Amino acid sequence: MFTNGHKVMLMSKKAKVYFGSIQQGREALFAALAAKVDKIIELLDLSTIENRDKVAIKMHLGFLDGFQTVPVFFVRRVVKAVKKVGGWPFVTDNPTSVYNAVERGYTQETCGCPIIPAAGVKDGYTNIVKIGYKNVDKLEMGGALHDADALIDLTHSKGHACSGYGGAIKNLALGGYSAPSRWRKIHGVEQSIQYWDPDKCTPQHAKTLVKACPYGALKYDPKKHNLSLVLFACRNELCLECLKADEKIGCLQIKPEFFSAFQELMAINTKKVLETFDENKRFFLNYILQVTPHCDCMGMCQPSVVPDIGVLGSPDIVAIEQATLDLIAKVGLIDGSVPPYFKHANLDPSANLHPFERLWGPMKNPYLAIKFAEQYGLGSRKYDIVEILSPEETSKMKPPKQTYERQPSFY
Ligand code: SF4
């Protein structure tokens, strides 16, 4: 099958997803998350990385005033594992995040490897890739990412204002490209969908619609007589105040395609990044801790809206994303942690909605990008979860003699 010129494959094979829970059955190092992360990395089997392979550890390093990114504590463990098999790792992200990464504790010394901007210091070292989806003809992929021999997609799983969820796919689909590609083209794809009829709408009515939106998602330019709908701000089916204000005129539509176009493009962009690596040199790790409602791009501290879950690892990007969302769905939202600016959040437990749909609206269904990714042949949504050192298992293990101030002790 082909859609929009892109090959579509149907995947059915089950993928393995390794899971280390933050919960532990013993007050013991062997039962704690760091030990589980080490075991997951071991099971991922980095031995396909060859001697001197340049290994891109693609992260979102966050921005100035946010700290809820993947802790350097875990980055060091990944870096050590890559070096152990002979690879030469480097951490990579956009140049701004790299430039101020020190504010969040990321340096060459703390990570144990260089931190290199994915598309160079001026975001201009890029490879042009043909996309051909809606209004996006081509994009600029980060040259340093493109040059690498192996990839570790090291992701903080959290909410996202455009797609409900931001994880391993988002980390490559947006983070793998230069800022002009990200901000103008990828974050502009929804504008290829017609949602407003300018002939039916007077300037006065356009202003009424803008006023009706409680999230500032509608902007009107009277000079151009243009009403824009801002994807990230719109809460779609949770809200629909604009449609009430438009009842008598009927010039505006809140269409599912407006939201899904962004998610389909994410799947396509991710495919382009993954295609630059051998299939057996791609590894995925999702940190489902401090799950914030917004993306790390916000560069601010935010409340965690779901309980901490743990860490997942898989060679399959689709399976790890599916498992991540399923685990988040299982634990649900911490209602008391939902910020008051989610005025229309649906906290009714009987509603059949994913926690991220409760916040961002059902048209920002977090599973959409994953469904598209599977259709584009990036992996399988079917998975077997393999829990490493589960609390049940470790609770039965012999407790060690407790030691303090280890490695080494200055006491
Ligand atoms: S659905 Fe709500 S948030 Fe979206 S544009 Fe309409 S009024 Fe604004």
Give the residue carrying structure tokens 């860490």. Answer: 311
Q: Residue 166: give the domain boundaries.
A: 2-187+260-390
* 228/302 same-domain check: no
Averaged pLDDT, groups of 10, the chain, 411 residues long = 43 86 95 97 98 98 95 98 98 97 97 98 97 98 98 98 98 98 96 97 98 98 97 97 98 97 98 98 98 95 98 98 98 96 95 98 98 98 98 92 73 69
CA dihedral 379, 381, 386, 391 (to 10 degrees): 130
- Are 29 and 61 contacting, i.e. CB atoms less than 8 angstroms apart? no
Q: Which of 254, 343, 346 to mutate to test the pocket of ligand 1 (most atoms within 8 A of CB)?
A: 254
* 160/78 same-domain check: yes
* 131/206 same-domain check: no
In a domain, 351, yes or no: yes
* 224/328 same-domain check: no
In a domain, 181, yes or no: yes
CA of 195 to the centre of ligand 1 (A): 12
In a domain, 409, yes or no: no
* 213/281 same-domain check: no
Which atom of ligand 1 is found nearest the CA of 218?
Answer: 5
State the Rg of the chain over Cα.
22
| Rounded-to-integer distance, Cα 369 and Cα 190, Å | 14
240 lines ligand 1 (CB under 6 A): yes
236 lines ligand 1 (CB under 6 A): yes
* 45/167 same-domain check: yes
What is the CATH number for 216? 3.30.70.20
217 lines ligand 1 (CB under 6 A): yes
* 307/378 same-domain check: yes
In a domain, 170, yes or no: yes
In a domain, 45, yes or no: yes
Q: Which of 196, 210, 239, 342 to mutate to test the pocket of ligand 1 (most atoms within 8 A of CB)?
A: 239
Whether the link from the prior residue into 408 is cis, omega within 30° of 0, is: yes
Contacts of 55 (CB under 8 A, 6+ apart): 49, 82, 87, 88, 89, 90, 148, 149, 150, 151, 152
In a domain, 317, yes or no: yes
CA of 47 to the centre of ligand 1 (A): 50
What is the CATH number for 315? 3.40.50
* 11/95 same-domain check: yes
Of 213, 231, 254, the one marking the end of a domain is 254
242 lines ligand 1 (CB under 6 A): yes
* 211/120 same-domain check: no
In a domain, 396, yes or no: no
In a domain, 199, yes or no: yes
* 64/97 same-domain check: yes
239 lines ligand 1 (CB under 6 A): yes
The answer to whether the pTM exceeds 0.85 is yes
Q: Which of 235, 346, 363 to mutate to test the pocket of ligand 1 (most atoms within 8 A of CB)?
A: 235
* 201/164 same-domain check: no
Q: Please count the structural domains in the chain.
A: 2
* 204/325 same-domain check: no
